[in-house]
Amino acid sequence: MPEAADLERLLRAAGLRVTRPRVAVLDAVHAEPHLDTDALIAATRARLGAVSHQAVYDVLRVLTHRGLVRRIQPQGSVARYEARVGDNHHHLVCRDCATIVDVDCAVGAAPCLTPSGDAGFAVDEAEVVFWGSCPSCTDKPTPVHLPSPSPAGPHREVRRDQRARQEPHAKHQ
């Protein structure tokens, strides 16, 4: 995790003034990736004391715009922030507990950057979200799944060893 002086250098290199809220928010994002705004507000307040919601929102907007943090928002989730920027990584999301884990893109040629039809776009990034159950939730008897990322419902292949554990899920209203 970067020291305060490293965070200050990052801010200056991005052309930003160094302020206590910016350093505190950037430190919180580095300390715990994939936190939502409410958790980042709490983490920033733990570092600074009093800070407004709006100040944290403004800092996150500026840090995201300048490329110091990345905003992600898996389907059915609130926005979350991470300090891992400038690479082409993806995310694993647990449908049961909403844990998010980084996963590197394919090594070498990145097949996810070659769409079947590019419509004339110069593709330089792909955002892929893998959905499933994390190791902690896999063994739970009755999972409560997050909404499917697809409006048509989940499209997934079920391994034979999971079929016996699956139960029908009630629709959320």
User: pLDDT tens digits, residue range 96-151?
Assistant: 999 999 998 766 666 666 777 888 888 777 788 889 999 999 887 764 555 656 54
Task: Report the distance separating Cα 81 and Cα 69, nearest Å.
Answer: 6
| Residue 80 included in any domain | no
Closest by CA position to 56, among listed 86, 77, 79, 88: 79
Which of the residue ranges 66-75, 85-94, 156-165 would you say has the lowest mean pLDDT?
156-165
The contacts of residue 158 (CB under 8 Å, 6+ apart) are 166
Amino acid code (one letter) for 124: D
Task: Assess whether pLDDT exceeds 90 at residue 35.
Answer: yes
Task: Report the distance separating Cα 65 and Cα 26, nearest Å.
Answer: 13
Q: Are residues 173 and 91 in the same domain?
A: yes
pLDDT at res. 106: 66
What domain count does the chain have? 2
pLDDT at res. 86: 84
Q: Which two tokens stand for residue 56?
A: 């944290």
| Residue 77 included in any domain | no
Q: Do the Cβ atoms of 7 and 23 come closer than 8 Å?
A: yes
Q: Are residues 51 and 27 in the same domain?
A: yes
| Residue 81 included in any domain | no
Task: Report the distance separating Cα 80 and Cα 70, nearest Å.
Answer: 8
Task: Report the distance separating Cα 54 and Cα 73, nearest Å.
Answer: 19
User: Can you give the length of the chain in residues?
Assistant: 173
Task: Assess whether pLDDT exceeds 50 at residue 160.
Answer: no
Q: Are residues 119 and 59 in the same domain?
A: no
Last residue of a domain, one of 72, 97, 112: 72
Q: Are residues 102 and 131 in the same domain?
A: yes
- The CATH number linked to 23 is 1.10.10.10
Q: Are residues 58 and 106 in the same domain?
A: no
Q: Are residues 61 and 142 in the same domain?
A: no
The domain of 101 spans 87-173
- The CATH number linked to 101 is 3.30.1490.190
